[in-house]
Structure 1
Amino acid sequence: MRGDKMYIKDGVCYAGELVPNIEVSSIKLLDSGMMLVDFSTGETRLFDVTSLLDKGSAFAPLADEKNQRTAKVTHGFVSWLDGDIDIAPETLYAESYKYSKEVYA
C-alpha cells in the first residue's frame, strides 16, 4: 500500500486517503489482471488487480483470473464475486496509475 493512511467512512475503516466525492463510474477489464477504471472526476486510471494479492487473504480469490473477471461496479465502487470482495473507490484511485486514452488508443 502507498503509505499508512486510513480513514473511516460510514462506520467502515478503509486503507488509503479519503478523496471526497469520488466514485467509480465504469470499468473495462483487460488481460493480465489489469483494469481501466473511469472515475466520477472524469479521469480514467489503470489498476492492477493482482496488486491486491499482497493485502491479505481476503483478496486471495483474485489470484484466479476467472474471479477477476467477475468485477462489477456497484454504488460507485468495484466488487468481485457478487460482493464478497470489494475495494473503496478512494483506495482504488490512490493505488491506480494515470492513463491517457489518447496515448494508448
Structure 2
Amino acid sequence: MEWDVVDVKPQSEHTLWVRFQDGVEGVVRFNSSAFRGVFAHLLDQALFEQVAVVNGVVTWPGDLDLAPDAMHAEIQRNGCWILT
C-alpha cells in the first residue's frame, strides 16, 4: 500500500522521521500527553529509539505500533503528525 512505511529514524526527543512507499515523508511528534496507557513506556528515550519498521508499520518492542494509514494521511496534509 502507498502508506506502508519504508524507513523510520529517531530524531530529537520523542520525534521520528518517516518515509512511506509512495515517497511521502515527514515527522511524527509525541507530545508529553501521548505517553499514557500502552505508550507510557516510550517516555524513556532509549526505548523510544528502539523503533523499527516491520511489515510497513512503525513498531517498538512489545507489539506496540502506529497506524500507518492515519500517519500517512496527516503527514501528507501537514508534513507532521502530532500525537497528543
Above 0.5 in TM-score?
yes
Question: In 1, Cα distance between the equivalents of 2:74 and 2:32?
Answer: 10
Contact residue 23 and residue 76 of structure 1 kept, 8 A:
yes
Return the letter of the residue paired with 2:64. Answer: I
Percent identical: 26
Q: Per the alignment, do residues 42 and 90 of structure 1 end up closer, same or farther by CA in structure 2, a change over 3 Å counting?
A: same
CA radius of gyration, larger in:
1
Question: In 2, Cα distance between the equivalents of 1:68 and 1:28?
Answer: 11
Query: Structure 1, residues 56-82: CA drift from partner, whole Å, max 9, x if none?
Result: 40111111101101100000001112x
User: Runs of 5+ in structure 1 lacking a partner?
Assistant: 1-19, 100-105
Q: Scaled by the length of structure 2, what TM-score is found?
A: 0.76
The correspondence for 1:85, drawn from 64, 67, 73, is: 64
Question: In 2, Cα distance between the equivalents of 1:46 and 1:84?
Answer: 21
Question: In 1, Cα distance between the equivalents of 2:43 and 2:35?
Answer: 12
Counterpart position of 1:64 = 44
Q: Scaled by the length of structure 1, what TM-score is found?
A: 0.62
User: Runs of 5+ in structure 2 lacking a partner?
Assistant: none
Which portions of structure 1, spanning 4 or more consecutive aligned residues, are displaced by more than 6 angstroms? none
Question: In 2, Cα distance between the equivalents of 1:93 and 1:28?
Answer: 16
Q: Which has the higher contact order (CA 8 A, sep 6+)?
A: 2
- How much does 1:91 deviate? 2.4
Tell me the matched-pair count: 78
- How much does 1:22 deviate? 1.5
- How do 1:20-31 and structure 2 match up within 5 A? 21-31=2-12
